[in-house]
C-alpha cells in the first residue's frame, strides 16, 4: 500500500519508492476568484515528456463548447497515456494540492502558435442548463482547474481573468491552479478566463480539470428528505498544508 509521510521540511516521503517530493508552493494571484501560481510544478523533463507524447497526435481544437473558440491544436489523453509513470507521478503531485478523484476528466495537451488563442469561457458546467446539469451528474462539477505551462512563450499567451484584471504569464514548469466554484460550491462567474493570443513563440499547456466526486444516490428504499444539489458541497478537500 502507498504511504505518504510528511516531515518538518515540507517534504513528502513516499513509502513505496522512497522518493522525496517537495510540497508545491502556492502564490496567490487573486482571492476572488481563487487563482494561484505554482512555481516549478513540473520539471523540464516532465514538460518535454508531455510534449513528446502529444506532438504527433494533435488535432485542431476549433470550438470547445458553444460560443467558445480555441484556435490551437490539442489532444485529450487516452487511458493508456495517463497510465505512464511520468503522468502518474504528476497526478500524485496534484493530490498534494487538491482532492484528485478517480472520476476526473482526462488530461488535455494544447499547442498554440502565434495568433492562436482560447476565447473567454468558464470551465465549470452550468448547472442551469440541461447539458450542464447532465454533465455534473455524469462527471461531477469541475470545481477547479490545474493548467500547466510546458514551454516559455516569447510574447503573449497569458492566461487572463478579465473580470478581475489578472494575467498569468506562461513560465515553463509552472502551473496555475484556479477555482471555478466559490468555497460554498456555487459556480463563480469571476472565474471567466481566456488564453490570450500568442504573439511570438509557441505555447504548450497541459490541463487537468478537477471534478467533484458526486455523492452516491441514496438507497432506493429510502425517501430523501431534501433534494440534493450536486454543486452545494464544498470544494475538493485541499490536501497540502499550503493549499488554499
What's the distance, CA 146 to chain centroid? 2
Measured CA distances, 217 to 125, 136, 169, 220 (Å): 20, 14, 42, 8
205 binds, among ligand AKG, Fe ion, none (CB under 5 to 8 A by kind): ligand AKG
What distance separates the 2 farthest-apart alpha carbons in the chain? 61
Among 30, 54, 118, 235, binds ligand AKG (CB under 6 A): 118
Closest CA to 230 of 86, 78, 103: 103
Q: Residue 94 carries which DSSP code?
A: H
Least distance to ligand AKG, CB of residue 116, Å: 9
Stretch 144-183 residues interacting with ligand AKG (CB under 6 A): 147, 159
Other C-beta atoms closer than 10 Å to the C-beta of 83 total 10
Q: Which CB atom, from 17 or from 59, has the smaller least distance to ligand AKG?
A: 59
Q: Which CB atom, from 24 or from 170, has the smaller least distance to ligand AKG?
A: 170
Among 41, 87, 97, 123, binds ligand AKG (CB under 6 A): 123
d(CA 221, CA 209): 34
d(CA 78, CA 65): 20
Asked if 193 touches ligand AKG (CB under 6 A), the answer is yes
Least distance to ligand AKG, CB of residue 113, Å: 13
Only one of the segments 28-36, 73-81, 119-127, 231-239 lies at the binding site for Fe ion (rule: CB under 5 A); that segment is 119-127
Only one of the segments 22-30, 38-46, 107-115, 121-129 lies at the binding site for Fe ion (rule: CB under 5 A); that segment is 121-129
Q: Which CB atom, from 64 or from 171, has the smaller least distance to Fe ion?
A: 64
236 binds, among ligand AKG, Fe ion, none (CB under 5 to 8 A by kind): none
Total residues in contact with Fe ion, by rule CB under 5 A: 1
Among 87, 207, 210, 243, binds ligand AKG (CB under 6 A): 207
For 144, phi then psi, to 5°, come to -150, 170
Burial class (CB in 10 A: 0-12, 13-18, 19+), 221: exposed
CB 142 within 8 A of CB 197: no
Asked if 196 touches Fe ion (CB under 5 A), the answer is no
Total residues in contact with ligand AKG, by rule CB under 6 A: 8
Measured CA distances, 107 to 89, 145, 147, 216 (Å): 13, 11, 10, 24
Asked if 116 touches ligand AKG (CB under 6 A), the answer is no
For 25, phi then psi, to 5°, come to -95, 140
Among 116, 117, 123, 174, binds Fe ion (CB under 5 A): 123
Asked if 33 touches ligand AKG (CB under 6 A), the answer is no
Which residues are near ligand AKG by CB under 6 A? Answer: 118, 123, 147, 159, 193, 195, 205, 207
Amino acid at each position: 500500500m502507498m504511504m505518504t509521510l510528511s516531515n518538518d521540511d515540507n517534504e513528502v516521503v513516499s513509502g513505496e519508492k522512497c522518493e522525496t517530493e517537495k510540497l508545491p508552493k502556492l502564490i496567490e494571484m487573486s482571492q476572488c476568484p481563487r487563482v494561484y501560481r505554482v512555481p516549478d510544478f513540473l520539471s523540464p523533463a516532465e514538460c518535454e515528456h508531455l510534449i513528446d507524447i502529444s506532438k504527433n497526435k494533435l488535432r485542431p481544437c476549433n470550438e470547445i463548447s458553444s460560443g467558445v473558440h480555441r484556435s490551437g491544436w490539442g489532444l485529450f489523453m487516452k487511458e493508456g497515456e495517463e497510465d505512464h509513470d511520468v503522468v502518474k507521478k504528476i497526478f500524485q503531485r496534484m493530490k498534494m494540492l487538491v482532492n484528485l478523484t478517480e472520476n476526473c476528466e482526462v488530461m488535455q495537451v494544447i499547442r498554440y502558435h502565434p495568433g492562436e488563442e482560447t476565447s473567454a469561457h468558464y470551465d465549470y458546467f452550468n448547472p442551469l442548463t440541461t447539458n450542464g446539469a447532465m454533465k455534473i451528474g455524469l462527471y461531477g462539477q469541475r470545481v477547479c482547474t490545474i493548467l500547466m505551462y510546458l514551454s516559455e512563450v516569447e510574447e503573449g499567451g497569458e492566461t487572463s481573468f478579465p473580470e478581475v484584471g489578472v494575467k498569468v504569464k506562461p513560465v515553463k514548469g509552472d502551473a496555475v491552479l484556479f477555482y471555478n466554484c466559490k468555497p460554498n460550491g456555487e459556480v463563480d462567474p469571476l472565474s471567466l478566463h481566456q488564453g490570450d493570443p500568442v504573439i511570438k513563440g509557441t505555447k504548450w499547456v497541459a490541463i487537468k480539470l478537477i471534478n467533484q466526486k458526486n455523492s452516491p444516490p441514496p438507497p432506493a428504499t429510502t425517501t430523501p428528505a431534501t433534494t440534493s444539489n450536486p454543486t452545494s458541497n464544498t470544494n475538493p478537500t485541499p490536501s497540502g498544508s499550503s493549499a488554499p
